[in-house]
A and B are shown apart, each in its own frame.
Chain A
């Protein structure tokens, strides 16, 4: 059952910035969706329109098939967690968590029990009488989470809730957020620019760039079948290698510098239909291996830099087509300056057309 629906939603700011362009997105009931993208990609505007904090320039927003495009924020029955916590500094932690219930006129005795329950869940019972200023960042964000889960809203909105926290706290809290979701089964829209965090908390990731949705799916989908060059570059760590490629003269292979990668008949047919020339060949560092074979299908190069990462090493090589990074086992790593040959795992390669859209996933 669709819970939230964006229908051709646009957001234009005064001054002409188009923050969100023709957004169509459906969030299912109970789903945990993550909006992922670089800063300025429109993810925050999308969330703020959903919360009612930002007006919708055109298009429609539905909640349970009800049109809420122009509904004021306080009537939308949502709970939001902000990146900078946004706690009420003049109120104790107890009152901060209780605020949404006070707004709804819940009896005082019930507020008391529910605040204590929530505080217990989030391990902040000992801080209930303190002012937020006395708490650490992680504790403050727990209070903000508590303020969100104290009632059962239609929707949870989280705007980079872990953005200001230290790395270890981020990992700890994101697991707790996921656990809370498993328990409450509440529909959640979550914003982050950290793909690892997105994969850890969410059911589905929505990659955004320049105001548009680029691709939807799980992290595996995004890694294995990037819809376009942006998604391929944005997702994956270390980042994907992108090399300039053309169709060979006879049209039977893909030519990357001096290297030729054979194409299957259907792939040839597919590429013939692409207008314009000049492709981008994408291969992830983990799909490149060292080889001794001096064949036309391998890429010649020279080791430039080594970045050891434990049992794997990122090897950056100079090749005729530019820099290429490969993730290789740390045993038997060639030394900088050595000549090497690299083999790309064709089935894991991606090809993007002149318009940067994905054309092929798997070559050969």
Chain B
């Protein structure tokens, strides 16, 4: 009886181990597949042209950072730095606005009973139904008439309005998850609604704020369509600047890849930084 049980146990253990290895192998293959382009981009940016096009590929080489130097200080007169700053400004401003305004809207929708509450929430989400390209002409016209064409402000406004609906909808879900008693306790303790929002509700949806900030930032940072049309020149963001490369006849691959690397790095760092706030379960144990 016991023998049988033990055999079965060790057999299942072997099966489990085999299954684990299969899963690990699959995961490794997938990660490799996903990261290979990134690897190619980064290595190409520090290779010479001969190294980049050598066959078989050169795996071991001395990296040189000329491309970065050129991209930052020589290229096009003032380099990529200006466009990086444009992207940074537009992304930070529009994400911060979207998260802050979205949090206030979401809190109102989650916590106050008023006529058409749910309809408004759905309407906010529905603003994302139509493809953005449908708005490109009116937005271009508005930017021209208001004199904001080729200015970061235009992009900030467009990105904020694009991200706001997502932020509101996401954060509403997070606010709804806060046990209502915690806020009622704060009310009875003598706090105003505004104080409760700032001191109780916001800290409790920190994972939601982080998630929303990451999503908004990624969307704004990578957005190309609107940027290329309403900010094509001085206010161009890094995706617009990058697109200039592929248009030219002979591409300098090292510089192209160096700019690409610099375009990816900030948003990657930002995501990694905020990631630790994404832990759920902050409200667990608050009640019961």
Which residues of chain A (68-99) have a CB below 8 Å from chain B? Answer: 72-74, 76-80, 82, 84-90, 99
B132 interface residue per 8 A CB criterion: no
B188 interface residue per 8 A CB criterion: yes
A interface, how many residues as a size bin? 20 to 34
Segment of B29-37, B77-85, B263-271, B277-285 engaged in the interface with chain A: B277-285
In the bound complex, do residue B191 and residue A86 qualify as a contact, i.e. CB atoms below 8 Å apart? no
Query: Which of A88, A133, A137, A147 counts the most B-chain CB atoms under 10 A from its CB?
Result: A88
Cβ-neighbour of A132 out of B179, B184, B285 (below 8 A): B285
Which chain B residue has the least Cβ–Cβ distance from A80? B188
Cβ-neighbour of B286 out of A74, A80, A86, A164 (below 8 A): A86
In the bound complex, do residue A80 and residue B185 qualify as a contact, i.e. CB atoms below 8 Å apart? yes
A301 interface residue per 8 A CB criterion: no
Which chain B residue has the least Cβ–Cβ distance from A144? B185
Count B-side interface residues using an 8 Å CB cutoff.
Answer: 24
Which residues of chain A (287-345) have a CB below 8 Å from chain B? Answer: none
Q: Cα distance A79–B188 when bound, in Å?
A: 6
In the bound complex, do residue A74 and residue B188 qualify as a contact, i.e. CB atoms below 8 Å apart? yes
Query: Which of B185, B206, B288 counts the most A-chain CB atoms under 10 A from its CB?
Result: B185
Chain B, residues 191-204, CB within 8 Å of chain A (1/0): the string is 11001000010011
In the bound complex, do residue A74 and residue B187 qualify as a contact, i.e. CB atoms below 8 Å apart? yes
CB distance from A247 to the nearest CB of B (A): 53
In the bound complex, do residue B285 and residue A73 qualify as a contact, i.e. CB atoms below 8 Å apart? no
In the bound complex, do residue B187 and residue A84 qualify as a contact, i.e. CB atoms below 8 Å apart? no
Residues of A within 8 A of B190 (CB): 74, 77, 100, 103-104
Q: Given A53-B187, A79-B188, A100-B189, are A86 and B181 neighbors across the interface (CB < 8 Å)?
A: yes
A353 interface residue per 8 A CB criterion: no
In the bound complex, do residue A74 and residue B191 qualify as a contact, i.e. CB atoms below 8 Å apart? yes
In the bound complex, do residue A89 and residue B184 qualify as a contact, i.e. CB atoms below 8 Å apart? no
Q: Cα distance A164–B285 when bound, in Å?
A: 13
Residues of A within 8 A of B287 (CB): 82, 84-87
B182 interface residue per 8 A CB criterion: yes
Which chain A residue has the least Cβ–Cβ distance from B188? A80
Q: Cα distance A88–B190 when bound, in Å?
A: 14
A282 interface residue per 8 A CB criterion: no
Which chain A residue has the least Cβ–Cβ distance from B288? A84
Q: Given A84-B179, A84-B288, A133-B284, are A89 and B188 neighbors across the interface (CB < 8 Å)?
A: no
Q: Given A52-B187, A132-B285, are A88 and B192 neighbors across the interface (CB < 8 Å)?
A: no
Q: Cα distance A131–B50 when bound, in Å?
A: 60
Residues of A within 8 A of B192 (CB): 74
CB distance from B36 to the nearest CB of A (A): 42
Q: Cα distance A349–B188 when bound, in Å?
A: 45
A19 interface residue per 8 A CB criterion: no
Q: Given A84-B181, A86-B179, A86-B181, are A103 and B286 neighbors across the interface (CB < 8 Å)?
A: no
A51 interface residue per 8 A CB criterion: yes
Chain B, residues 246-288, CB within 8 Å of chain A (1/0): the string is 0000000000000000000000000000000000001111111
Q: Given A74-B190, A89-B204, A103-B195, are A82 and B283 neighbors across the interface (CB < 8 Å)?
A: no
Residues of A within 8 A of B206 (CB): 90
In the bound complex, do residue B191 and residue A82 qualify as a contact, i.e. CB atoms below 8 Å apart? no
Q: Cα distance A137–B206 when bound, in Å?
A: 25
Q: Cα distance A133–B285 when bound, in Å?
A: 5
In the bound complex, do residue A99 and residue B189 qualify as a contact, i.e. CB atoms below 8 Å apart? yes
Residues of A within 8 A of B200 (CB): 88, 90
Q: Cα distance A4–B283 when bound, in Å?
A: 35
In the bound complex, do residue A132 and residue B286 qualify as a contact, i.e. CB atoms below 8 Å apart? yes
Q: Cα distance A88–B188 when bound, in Å?
A: 13
Residues of A within 8 A of B286 (CB): 85-89, 132-133
Residues of A within 8 A of B195 (CB): 103
Residues of B within 8 A of A104 (CB): 190
Name 14 A/B residue pairs within 8 A (Cβ), A-sorted. Answer: A53-B187, A73-B184, A74-B192, A80-B188, A82-B184, A85-B286, A87-B182, A88-B200, A88-B286, A90-B206, A99-B189, A99-B191, A147-B189, A164-B288
10 nearest A-B residue pairs (beta carbon): A133-B285, A84-B287, A89-B286, A86-B181, A103-B190, A86-B185, A73-B187, A100-B189, A80-B188, A90-B203
